[in-house]
Structure 1
Amino acid sequence: MSTLKLTKTRMLEGMWQGIITGSGDTKPDIAVTHGNTDVPDFKLAKSDTADHWSLTIPVPASAIADGIQVIVVTDNDAGQKIGDVVIIGDEVTNIDQRAELELLRAELDMLKRAFRRHCVETS
């Protein structure tokens, strides 16, 4: 199970900002994706004053559209989602419910992995 925790601090001028705790001085190995595409320009910097890492994600232009758009942050070491950024545009249609379904699938996959790991550990 991932020990990383992602907390949003703010979103300003197309930049989503948050903090990651739980990795100490070791730089967390994370991935940021929108749909099936990596968001390559995110920045991860160690805070000088506190025991956390600052995460800055530039919101891709493709995530600014009608409906529900989801940017997912994943802990690569644990293979688990640690957070997401949900952007809701002007009109939400039935097609955009796919984004909500994507979130539910990610949560279900996380629960399945945790349950399987629990079964192995308690056997």
Structure 2
Amino acid sequence: MRLTDGRIREGVWSARLESEGEPGPFAVTLRDREVPHEVARIEGTLWEVRVPIPPSLIGEGIQTGIVAEPGGRRLAHFTLVAGEDAGADLRAEVDLLRAELDLLKRAFRRHCAGTARG
């Protein structure tokens, strides 16, 4: 199973799902809650997944919806950004990720240098 072309329009996240035969089970979660979804065949091995986003789950900040198989394999995700400070939250998160990446790069370089010396 593979999901592509995800987008949000009029409060509904939709994507195309490619699957040989009937699609296997999967769950959509947003803010740690399972969200109902619909799957309809378009043609052949192509299906459409529709997830109406409940207004009660939309709020300030950044929320990420996850589409995953029962074993945990992530098929797709979507992000909702809302509120006045959402841009600042996003920039702060990116800055934190950059700092963590720099830390990992330095540790990796030290490890490689130590291994090369033997």
TM-score by length of structure 1 reads 0.62
Task: Please say if residues 31 and 57 of structure 2, whose CA atoms lie closer than 8 Å, have aligned partners that are also in contact.
Answer: no
Q: 1:11 to 1:28 in 2, by over 3 A?
A: same
- Greater Cα radius of gyration, structure 1 or 2: 2
1:60 paired residue among 43, 54, 63:
54
Task: Please say if residues 69 and 88 of structure 1, whose CA atoms lie closer than 8 Å, have aligned partners that are also in contact.
Answer: yes
Residue in 1 that maps onto 2:25: 29
Q: Shift in Å at residue 25 of structure 1?
A: 1.1
1:78-93 pair list within 5 angstroms: 78-90=71-83, 91-92=85-86
Q: Percent identity?
A: 27
May I ask how many residue pairs the two structures share in their alignment?
A: 90
Residue in 1 that maps onto 2:10: 13
Task: Please say if residues 12 and 52 of structure 2, whose CA atoms lie closer than 8 Å, have aligned partners that are also in contact.
Answer: yes
The separation in 2 between residues aligned to 1:53 and 1:81, in whole angstroms, is 18
Residue in 1 that maps onto 2:34: 38
Detail structure 1 runs of 4+ shifted over 6 Å in the superposition.
none
Q: Which runs of 5+ in 2 are unaligned?
A: 98-118
> Please, what is the CA RMSD of the aligned residues?
2.3
Q: Shift in Å at residue 9 of structure 1?
A: 4.4
The Cα offsets for residues 17-48 of structure 1, whole Å up to 9 and x where unpaired, read as: 10111x211222110011221102x101122x
